Amino acid sequence: MRICVDAGHGGTDPGAIGRTPFTLKEKDFNLQLALKLEPELIRRGHEVLMVRRSDRTFSLGARARFANMHGAQLFISIHANAAANVSAEGMEVFHFTGSAQGQRFARRILDQMLQTFPDHKNRGIKEANFAVLRLTNMPAVLVECEFLTHPRQLEFLADDSNQQALAEAIARGVSESN
């Protein structure tokens, strides 16, 4: 399967910023995870298109156009969540409203993430009208890995071994959905 991996935000758009116990910009976490996800998908026989491999700015429309132009069969946007309430935590995956295929991918990806990290809160599968989900011509998911604004989860997201395990879980979820 040809999969487009989108490391959300980037360049002039930092996304969310975790500040306690240290600072981590969402754009940096997203790129680190996306770069770990690519070889995991390739190892499972998928062709991977990367929206970005460095700290560059892309509009939401440009991200979708890239996937559409290259005939991607699945679009995965990688993100970390944020909330005003620093106790908010958990993993969730979004798909476009009414997309049965998107819902199937979202369910399998979230299931694998929670099997890998069973102590994390399940925030569920959710429908959304996000531009990258709406403007893509293929099933699309937006993966929220955890909350940068929760101090313990910020440390979780910054850990290289956790990022690798997340990449493996997402790749397993994609492969199980075929």
Catalytic residues: 144
Strand order in the sheet with 47-50: 47-50, 2-7, 74-81, 140-147, 91-96, 122-128
128 strand-pairing partners: 96
3-state secondary structure of 40: helix
Contacts 24+ apart (CB under 8 A), 134-138: 134/64, 134/96, 135/60, 135/61, 135/64, 135/65, 135/68, 136/4, 136/64, 136/67, 136/68, 136/72, 136/75, 136/96, 137/67, 137/68, 138/4, 138/67, 138/68, 138/72, 138/73, 138/74, 138/75
